[in-house]
């Protein structure tokens, strides 16, 4: 008693060894999900990490895919690139990417956050997920939660928001300074990523054309879309070709759409098509790491060059964890623009 705290150490709650979680012990359907109160409590291994007490988490399509084993080859390589551990080291695996909660403990190099801060984050899929009482995250993956949202509301946004941000900003090159007046087409606009992307580019001043089913038309208008196209009301390709050409296309649909969508872009003007539907993880699951990466590289390289000769840019985009991007998203949410 009365001893000064040792410099460099942070006080933490009494040690715990286990916590409740939803986990899977093998890949499969919903019956592989198991609730346990004995999941290993997360620990800080690196000085830039924080432990978050989860107040709310949410589910995304990637959680269903990962439950079934999608991307396991690539994700296991990311978890253990040197193959230092034995097989099946990912189990028991906790799913869930989104989290809104409160910082419980900080690593020694974390200065931006402190215990008690309300934060949100999207945890990358190669890490243990958020369907737990606590989760560990890198400080650069975490951001202060928007003040205007409850934890439950906030937990619905980080993964889809960062996926859209990656596609539109980091890969597509659009930002608040260069988006004004640009014609943007969003295919599959009524999903999680699409609804966020519509609001994002609209907040930056773009003219937005949203493609969705008729029952989502009112929502698209409410979110700010200038034109709404019902893909069930006729030949979608012909409907879109009747409109002026676009500066940017975000494709959340993939498949046959890719065969004609790039013809809707303005040629030789820097116009860009970005798709979130890529074969990267599937290739690695089917062909293994080396052959899968080679096949993926050949595919994206050949498509990029082919379309470059036609005067448009072709890009693939993926979710990227980013606290600084979440800072900007939080600003848009608190200002009422998202």
What was the pLDDT predicted at 6?
A: 41
**CA-wise closest residue to 278 among 262, 299, 248:** 299
CA distance 167 to 320: 9
| pLDDT of 8 over the 50 cut | no
Range of the domain at 56: 21-156
Statement to judge: residues 283 and 331 lie in one domain: yes
Q: 240 lies in a domain?
A: yes
pLDDT in tens, 51-104: 999 999 999 999 999 999 999 999 999 988 877 765 657 999 999 999 999 999
- From the number of C-beta atoms within 10 Å of its C-beta (0-12, 13-18, 19+), residue 279 rates as middle
Distances (CA, A) of 190 to 41, 77, 263: 37, 33, 23
Domain count, the chain: 2
| Domain end position, chosen among 122, 156, 190 | 156
Statement to judge: residues 81 and 164 lie in one domain: no
Statement to judge: residues 201 and 140 lie in one domain: no
| pLDDT of 254 over the 70 cut | yes
Q: 262 lies in a domain?
A: yes
| Domain end position, chosen among 98, 129, 156 | 156
Sequence-separated (6 or more) residues with CB below 8 Å from residue 71: 65, 125, 281, 284, 285
Statement to judge: residues 300 and 174 lie in one domain: yes
Q: 15 lies in a domain?
A: no
187 touches 252 (CB < 8 A): yes
Angle at CA of residue 281, ends 174 and 45, nearest 5°: 85
CA distance 236 to 229: 8
CA distance 61 to 162: 15
Statement to judge: residues 163 and 280 lie in one domain: yes
Q: 266 lies in a domain?
A: yes
Which domain CATH number covers 300? 3.40.50.720
Does the pTM exceed 0.85?
A: yes
Q: 3 lies in a domain?
A: no
What was the pLDDT predicted at 149?
A: 98
Structure tokens at 219: 């929502």
pLDDT in tens, 19-62: 999 999 999 999 999 999 999 999 999 999 999 999 999 999 99
Distances (CA, A) of 153 to 126, 144, 148, 322, 327: 24, 14, 9, 19, 16
């Amino acid at each position: 008693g009365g001893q000064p705290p040792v410099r460099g150490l942070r006080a933490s709650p009494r040690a715990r060894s286990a916590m409740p979680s939803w986990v899977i012990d093998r890949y499969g359907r919903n019956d592989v999900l198991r609730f346990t109160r004995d999941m290993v409590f997360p620990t800080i291994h690196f000085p830039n990490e924080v432990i978050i007490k989860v107040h709310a988490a949410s589910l995304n399509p990637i959680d269903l895919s990962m439950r079934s084993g999608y991307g396991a080859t690539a994700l296991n390589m990311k978890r253990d690139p040197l193959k230092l551990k034995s097989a099946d080291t990912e189990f028991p695996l906790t799913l869930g990417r989104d989290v809104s909660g409160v910082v419980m403990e900080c690593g020694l190099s974390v200065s931006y956050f402190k215990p008690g801060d309300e934060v949100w984050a999207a945890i990358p899929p190669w890490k243990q997920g958020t369907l737990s009482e606590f989760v560990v995250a890198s400080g650069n993956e975490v951001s202060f939660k928007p003040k205007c949202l409850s934890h439950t509301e906030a937990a619905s946004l980080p993964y889809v928001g960062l996926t859209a941000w990656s596609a539109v900003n980091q890969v597509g090159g659009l930002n608040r300074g260069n988006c004004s007046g640009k014609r943007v087409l969003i295919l599959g606009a009524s999903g999680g990523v699409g609804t966020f992307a519509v609001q994002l580019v609209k907040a930056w001043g773009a003219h937005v054309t949203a493609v969705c089913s008729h029952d989502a038309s009112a929502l698209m208008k409410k979110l700010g879309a200038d034109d709404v196209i019902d893909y069930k009301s006729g030949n979608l390709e012909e409907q879109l070709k009747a409109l002026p050409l676009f500066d940017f296309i975000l494709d959340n649909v993939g498949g046959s759409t890719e065969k004609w969508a790039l013809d809707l872009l303005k040629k030789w003007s820097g116009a860009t098509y970005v798709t979130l539907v890529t074969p990267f993880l599937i290739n690695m699951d089917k062909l293994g790491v080396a052959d899968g990466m080679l096949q993926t590289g050949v595919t994206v390289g050949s498509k990029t060059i082919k379309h470059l000769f036609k005067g448009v840019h072709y890009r693939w985009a993926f979710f990227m964890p980013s606290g600084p991007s979440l800072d900007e998203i939080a600003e848009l949410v608190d200002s009422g623009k998202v």
